Amino acid sequence: MFRLAQLTLLLEVAGEEQAPIRSVDRLGFYDFFSANPFVVLSGDDRRDVADRLTLRLAGFSDRQLSYASTGQRFASRRRRLQHDLSLLVAYGLVTIESGSYELTMIGGALAERLTSVYADAYREAARVVLKRLKRLSDNNLKKNAEEWLGKSWLLIDVLDDVAETTPGIAGRRESASRG
């Protein structure tokens, strides 16, 4: 339930930030980095300093021991993502509209009712992360993730065939095979 609530909050913020989520891979990166926002703050420029302060005020700490194993944690979280997303679709909380994953009206109403301190902190982290990552192409997002997570996560086959869970892919494959 906790992961489902996080995904619901992430999709809420993605809608607010006009950050369409067109693939499970992109959702996976957004999801992981929103839960671990200090991973994407690598510099000491003005923006990084401001975002670090925002995250600390929201209740996040950059001194967590778990930041040492980010690659492995990303891999295991990514494996659960497809299942979690399918549950949200089955519950009628998420839909695929215009080629991206979005909250339904019911999902949006649920997200609004999530009002804990952690939910507010997670929303703030998701805003920081989405503002930084939404403009990146898929290739650049993947390259940055490799730098932030290290190469070890690539050794685990985390990106199984996701054609069935990527909006529009299955339809294009069927059209191509017919034509």
**Alpha carbons 94 and 112: distance in angstroms, whole number:** 14
Between 139 and 158, residue with greater pLDDT: 139
Range of the domain at 19: 2-178
**pLDDT for the residue numbered 70:** 62
pTM for this prediction = 0.76
What whole-number percentage of the chain has pLDDT above 70?
Answer: 76
Q: Please report the DSSP string for 32-48 in residue order.
A: HHHHSGGGG--S-SHHH
Q: What is the pLDDT of residues 22-47, one digit of tens each?
A: 998 899 999 989 988 888 887 778 88
Asked if residue 83 lies in contact with residue 7, where contact means CB atoms within 8 angstroms, the answer is no
**Alpha carbons 156 and 66: distance in angstroms, whole number:** 19
Q: How many structural domains is the chain composed of?
A: 1
Residue 172: pLDDT over 70: no
Contacts of 144 (CB under 8 A, 6+ apart): 40, 133, 136
